Amino acid sequence: MRCPYCLEFESRVVDSRSSEDGTIIRRRRECNSCKRRFTTYERVEERPLLVIKKSGIREQFSRDKLLNGIMRACEKRPVKMEEIENIIARIERDLRDKYDREVSSKIVGEKLMDELQGLDEVAYVRFASVYRQFTDINSFIKTIEQLKSK
């Protein structure tokens, strides 16, 4: 594994940990040259999963897009990165289990909203405001009222 700091190829594994569901291995590495540490993740290569957008365009499922959406929703919130990674892993595992090759972006968004609702209410409302494209204050208030009633 190449060091991201000095680009040296030789490094040693300092620590390895498996994710909750055992599908990902997190490795802490130390570069043999510069002695800096970095993290790598190892996961099984999956078959491609296509997401069908509202416009009908198909694009490959991207963990990074999911991560960016969650990170924006959770900005300045007391949410640990480990919790976010667990959410992404659960959503991806569920999508790959239930859908063979294609899934609607609406299903992905709804799964993410369900996860955020249990994680952080403010992050949920932030994501919902973008995802559901609130056009006025009433739709925003309606979502908050639904959240309060649960």
Whether residues 85 and 24 fall in one domain: no
In 99-131, alpha helices (H): 105-119, 121-131
Based on the domain organization, do 137 and 101 belong to the same domain?
A: yes
Domain extent, residue 39, equals 1-45
Co-location of 123 and 138 in the same domain: yes
pLDDT at residue number 45? 73
* pLDDT digit string, tens, across residues 43-75: 877 678 999 998 999 999 999 999 999 999 998
Cβ atoms of 49 and 58 within 8 Å: the answer is no
Residue 1 is predicted with a pLDDT of: 83
The number of distinct structural domains making up the chain is: 2
Residue 51 and residue 110 share a domain:
yes
pLDDT in the model for residue 58 = 94
Torsion angle defined by CA atoms of residues 96, 52, 134 and 122, in that order, rounded to the nearest 10 degrees:
20
Co-location of 36 and 64 in the same domain: no
Q: Do residues 58 and 103 both lie within one domain?
A: yes
Q: Which residues of the chain have pLDDT under 70?
A: 46, 135-136, 140
pLDDT for residue 108 = 92
